[in-house]
Structure 1
């Protein structure tokens, strides 16, 4: 079909006056020209956006949701974005947030993209005719240190083709997103610092609530979705009252529930977050916050990497009032339906997480007996000495991801929320050849429906096959239907029962398979470990210290 401009100017019987009038109307924007007509426009609170039309989809990229956190705005809560005059081009991704690169040999390596502190942007894929469509807001992973919404793996087109308005978000990373410091706390209105990346995510959700209707989305039907650090972020969004009312469902892929530092109190064997920040400033040669703000962002990021700064949420008493496990134990989290899972081979691409332990059977069993005491028999039943290499992979997976994920699903089910658990256990020939079966993040091309597209995964990623394409279709259908209705459904695939009292789940192998009680005894063992360590004031995450015996005075097995 011709544009209004072509119809107006192309008729054979048009008079010179009508042609002249049409040209004036086109110049004034009352009638769009053919080239402009190929690009959709929407109006958001800051002004007009010019996007891209891809078939039946509209795509808008690099849309600011907050002021750039540069200069004096570095290490401050995100501020409302500026308005602009005219129409802003939203045809390309914004800059990625400042971060160190992955090693070129890493399975997660992607070609470098432009980086800047001016990175608080989001991207929207929407069906052309969307009206009150469900919304997904994607929060990327990368250890809160790396990652970008511009990754081809996070293309939202398959969700949009299923009627979803899909939004992906950048947020501050590394030292720029998670630094606490006494000087920063002193200048903040609430006298706390850190958690800037989490504040960015909340600001993005607030922007979505105010503006997603312009793209055909329903602000009352928003699902947050994230993997790894993005999944951890969602766990904290569920725990923070500041995020309440900004989403109605959550998809959580490979989260954890470790203890994190308190802003000003040493807890669970961890130094205070302000102590960590003060040590970083000293290592950077900065006497105060002003000196830190004067330093180049890339230099700060490099120093943080060399000094081992850990990007992580901070228990500040306001945004994050307590440890995750305590908030969920007390039922103080936001109550929404959840779909959550982990991968069977998570640690195959994260082997640095595996604790040092003897690799001979006798030494292995002795080390487990020393660390786990009366829990050692249960541990060795799950992770036997008969294959120590596999046991180390599986036990580390469960300590980091498996227990935390099942705990999230259990507590939500106990709060009468529909809760769905999965284990991604798929492995094709290319992945098996590299000993990466079901590695950390390997579910992403499937959950996005992109497996089989060679341009959607990083260059070192194992290549897909036909079997992968079928499974990807099932998984993105489950994810999209959950975001739409709260119940995961896929045509031609099994009905996905909620976790409930039967501990039901789906295991994704070559196809989805329904089962019960996914890893018998796993949750119970690590829950007991966490409770004992928590009662003794210990970090329970990858802690090789001996566990307090069950009958130690002052220990309460049922402590909440």
Structure 2
């Protein structure tokens, strides 16, 4: 229930306060939610509520334990300011993804933000999960401001979740503490707890708890897939949007799988590298010091297959049809790797070396690899190889698998750029679609290539906001004055976003089949990961007598 905050004052006191704040206090919206009352900020037809706690603070004593739902509070909580970000290493100086200012950080970071139309009632809910390699980012980043999406008729929620070593450390001693005998996946459990909060509270903000879409980009899209695979998240959402997801091989809690040491082994190795042994000492460490030391030591935060939160490899869950049975909108960008060149190996000396290396690694599939990724332009070949292995294959796999479950699903390809991005060699780079989805062209980070303030750019953003909002509302993306976006289906339909939306069929013919074959053979072999160890750094491809294409 939303009500205005009214101050009851008389005489001179009323006039005095009115002079200090002529409209803000009187217009501030208050929501009486089951969690407690919150006072937010009235924007232009949208109410914003920031920094709402959804879980108890995971302080040092509660570090590396599943989240506990926040206790209801009494009185009215000020929700006009964002909560602190979860602990994360500092951004690389000059990175296009680095925010203007380093955010305040705390272990008490499990909060969320809500933007809702002032007259919302039974509105679809859009829950945004930020990216950042599960090691950085927050729901308060300026690009994720939900006001313009909310103006499309959505209740928009952005969340924080534990990151890095604090969110994804597994360790034998932590598993011993757990009644389920597992550890790790704490950041994922935070996301699930946030979705439970939405189920309990979002109706008070005008949202429909029976029509929730989870959405995210990069690690946020990885999280979307984790949530689709996690049985305890099923029923908490009803649609999914995955922007630049990557269905990489997943570490097991115990035992080496697909060439990757177990999550518990990685936790023990981290403890040795930073020379801090035992949970007592790890919990005694300053949170930011531990976060930075873990990152510098090479700790890679990822979910782990523990048989509880994540029951199996994502590819296996989706192959068996055990993922959440929901429609999905998924896609990727043409230039994903242009801003992620650290994922590329050093280039070969010349075209002949490239071709010889591909033939040695891919055997009878080398011809198909060289046809799809020819040596005429080595840089473009390497960029496309890694892009397709991580993002392109994943996007098409997601829509294929959800289509097989009987849910209309939608594929996109973002190939839009503009002068500043092209001049920087960043045509359609990783995450460059986000400002268009959120209507946030003027809210990008300081080193982001500046989006021009033109009618064409605004029109593309309006179309994308319309498509995304319609999908969240009805399960079918549609935008006023824009082309029909057909479901993937038998025609393998997709929508390309270039200067404007352009529908097409059969995106990058042969790409999906080629990568699927490589992944399938590596899966069957059992001791090889699949993701960025492709192209000229591919290990010899296992033989084709594995039941794979």
Structure 2-normalised TM-score? 0.94
The one-character-per-residue Cα deviations of 1:491-545 (angstroms, maximum 9, x if unpaired) are: 1110000100100001100100000001100000000000000000111222221
Query: Number of residue pairs matched?
Result: 533
Aligned to 2:333: 343
Aligned counterpart in structure 1 of residue 544 of structure 2, from 533, 546, 550: 550
The DSSP-based 3-state class of the residue aligned with 1:396 is helix
- How far apart are residue 287 of structure 1 and its match? 2.4
- How far apart are residue 286 of structure 1 and its match? 2.4
Aligned to 2:505: 516
Contact kept, 8 Å, 1:359 with 1:388, in 2: the verdict is no
The one-character-per-residue Cα deviations of 1:165-209 (angstroms, maximum 9, x if unpaired) are: 000000000000000000100001111000000000000000000
2:93 pairs with 1:104: yes
The DSSP-based 3-state class of the residue aligned with 2:241 is strand
Aligned to 2:317: 327
How far apart are the structure 2 equivalents of 1:318 and 1:426? Answer: 41
Aligned counterpart in structure 1 of residue 406 of structure 2, from 416, 439, 447: 416
- How far apart are residue 37 of structure 1 and its match? 2.6
How far apart are the structure 1 equivalents of 2:495 and 2:425? Answer: 23
Contact kept, 8 Å, 2:5 with 2:27, in 1: the verdict is no
Matches within 5 A, 1:42-441: 42-110=31-99, 111-441=101-431
How far apart are the structure 1 equivalents of 2:218 and 2:363? Answer: 31
- How far apart are residue 440 of structure 1 and its match? 0.3
Contact kept, 8 Å, 2:35 with 2:201, in 1: the verdict is no
The one-character-per-residue Cα deviations of 1:92-142 (angstroms, maximum 9, x if unpaired) are: 000000001211211101121101111000000000110000000000000
Using the TM superposition, name which of 264-273 and 278-287 deviates more. Answer: 278-287
How large is the RMSD of aligned CA atoms in angstroms?
1.9
2:447 pairs with 1:460: yes
The one-character-per-residue Cα deviations of 1:198-241 (angstroms, maximum 9, x if unpaired) are: 00000000000000001000000000010000000000101111
The DSSP-based 3-state class of the residue aligned with 2:215 is strand
Contact kept, 8 Å, 1:62 with 1:94, in 2: the verdict is yes
The DSSP-based 3-state class of the residue aligned with 1:43 is strand
The DSSP-based 3-state class of the residue aligned with 1:385 is coil
2:523 pairs with 1:534: yes
- How far apart are residue 45 of structure 1 and its match? 2.5
How far apart are the structure 1 equivalents of 2:73 and 2:513? Answer: 55
How far apart are the structure 1 equivalents of 2:44 and 2:352? Answer: 63
Aligned counterpart in structure 1 of residue 471 of structure 2, from 482, 485, 503: 482
How far apart are the structure 2 equivalents of 1:541 and 1:348? Answer: 17
Aligned to 1:525: 514
Contact kept, 8 Å, 1:355 with 1:542, in 2: the verdict is no
The one-character-per-residue Cα deviations of 1:335-374 (angstroms, maximum 9, x if unpaired) are: 1011110000000000111134524111100000011111
The one-character-per-residue Cα deviations of 1:316-345 (angstroms, maximum 9, x if unpaired) are: 111101101111011111110111100000
The one-character-per-residue Cα deviations of 1:44-92 (angstroms, maximum 9, x if unpaired) are: 2232111111121110000000001112111000001023231110000
- How far apart are residue 390 of structure 1 and its match? 0.5
- How far apart are residue 36 of structure 1 and its match? 3.6
How far apart are the structure 2 equivalents of 1:193 and 1:228? Answer: 24
Aligned to 1:13: none
Contact kept, 8 Å, 1:374 with 1:549, in 2: the verdict is no
Aligned to 1:27: none
* 1:420 to 1:35, Cα distance in 2 relative to 1, 3 A: closer
How far apart are the structure 1 equivalents of 2:302 and 2:372? Answer: 30
Aligned counterpart in structure 1 of residue 436 of structure 2, from 432, 446, 456: 446
Contact kept, 8 Å, 2:325 with 2:405, in 1: the verdict is yes
Structure 1-normalised TM-score? 0.92
How far apart are the structure 2 equivalents of 1:403 and 1:349? Answer: 19
- How far apart are residue 159 of structure 1 and its match? 1.2
Aligned counterpart in structure 2 of residue 496 of structure 1, from 485, 488, 493: 485
How far apart are the structure 2 equivalents of 1:6 and 1:51? Answer: 15
* 1:216 to 1:265, Cα distance in 2 relative to 1, 3 A: same
* 1:257 to 1:5, Cα distance in 2 relative to 1, 3 A: closer
Contact kept, 8 Å, 2:5 with 2:29, in 1: the verdict is no
How far apart are the structure 1 equivalents of 2:113 and 2:5? Answer: 29
